[in-house]
Amino acid sequence: MSFLEELKQYSWEETKKYIYSIKSVDVERVLAKRHHDIYDFMALISPEAERYLEPMSALSRKYTQQRFGKTMQFYIPLYLSNACVNHCIYCGFNHNNPIHRMILNDEQILKEVKAIKSMGGFEHILLVAGESPRQVGIDYMENAIKLIKPYFASISLEVQPLKQEEYTRLINAGLNAVYCYQETYNQKRYKIYHPKGIKSNFERRLDTFERMGRATIHKMGLGVLIGLEDWRTDVTMMALHLRYLQKHYWRTKYSISFPRMRPHEGDIFQPNIVMNDKELAQLIFAFRIFDNDIEIALSTRESQKFRDNMLTLGVTSMSAGSKTDPGGYAACVTGELEQFSVNDNRSPKEILEVVKSHHYEAVWKDWDQALN
């Protein structure tokens, strides 16, 4: 049975109703347990659980340090292109937005690499591109991976969904991880946010994770975009998805993130749901208690203050010094627009000092060439 078939067994409205019906006794029962199921997770993300953030944060810190030690993994995104065929109403790369489209060539990619390497000890790089298969297809991505492989120990990818054989091809070229965000698991309303383009196909995008798993990717990342639908219901569906993938593709490592909507070009869409910092902290604690081993990433979308506060409480991976426009690091291209506005503009060195001040150690990679 595919995850789509499993997902259909859960009513969005009934799941939401259950989460919002949780009582304090339910939360206390869950906090007293050592192992947790999906109903325990729903209790931890419920409005009622907001009263228990202190014990939740203590458990989150405890489990994180048990599994990951006092470490924080650093990564940096490299935007290869802002060309995109999708019409996602919340994204600056929307095909209808009248922005200058750019696809970095080999020379420009290497200039970006040189600029990134000059910023510090980055060994984990995330390659990002808008979804444009004809312009930024498998050949382009394979070339980009081979081009930068000598400079980085770990290469991740966040681009359009690919075929299983294409993932295998990129793994053979040096790819270690793939991140693909469903954005929302509400199938009935998915098309509202993705009206046209290859991303408009809910089922095809959901099946992407199956193709990654069959290709035996080392790590895959899941996520929902906070601001589209009721976040508590959405992340519950993602937790179900995570459990399904862990059962069927148990050799793969997993990472999750929950980006909150940030300003972008053509910014006419206003979030339907606004999650405050307290609620995001609650969600991070809940996921850590639910799954002690999951990697939790926090990007520069979030504020300096929030990232600093969460550093020891459940997060295991942070971006630093990020640019979300093609050519942004080396300024080798001018006039490009960001996919979204960065909220934490500190340099990697500045964030590193914060990590050290908490007596934590920065980890610049999670993969070594010797493992190939």
What's the CATH number where 306 sits? 3.20.20.70
**pLDDT score at 6:** 94
In a domain, residue 371? The reply is no
**Contact between 177 and 145 (Cβ < 8 Å):** no
How far is Cα of residue 118 from the mean position of the Cα atoms in its chain?
Answer: 25
* Confidence at residue 239, expressed as pLDDT on a 0 to 100 scale: 98
Say what the pLDDT of residue 263 is. Answer: 59
The DSSP secondary-structure symbol of 260 reads: B
Q: Is position 198 within any domain?
A: yes
Query: Which of 215, 221, 261 has the alpha carbon at shortest distance from 241?
Result: 221
Residue 89 domain flag? yes
So what's the pLDDT on residue 269? 78
In a domain, 372, yes or no: no
Low-confidence ranges of the chain (pLDDT < 70): 262-268, 332-341, 365-372
- Return mean pLDDT, the chain: 92
Query: Domain range spanning residue 170?
Result: 3-366
Query: Using an 8 Å Cβ cutoff, are 217 and 156 in contact?
Result: no
In a domain? residue 333: yes
What is the number of domains present in the chain? 1
pTM of the model: 0.93
What is the number of alpha carbons within 13 Å of residue 31 lying toward its C-beta? 22
**Cα Rg of the chain, angstroms:** 20
Of 145, 152, 90, give the one whose Cα is nearest residue 119: 152
Residue 125 domain-assigned? yes
| CA pair distance 126, 36, nearest whole angstrom | 32
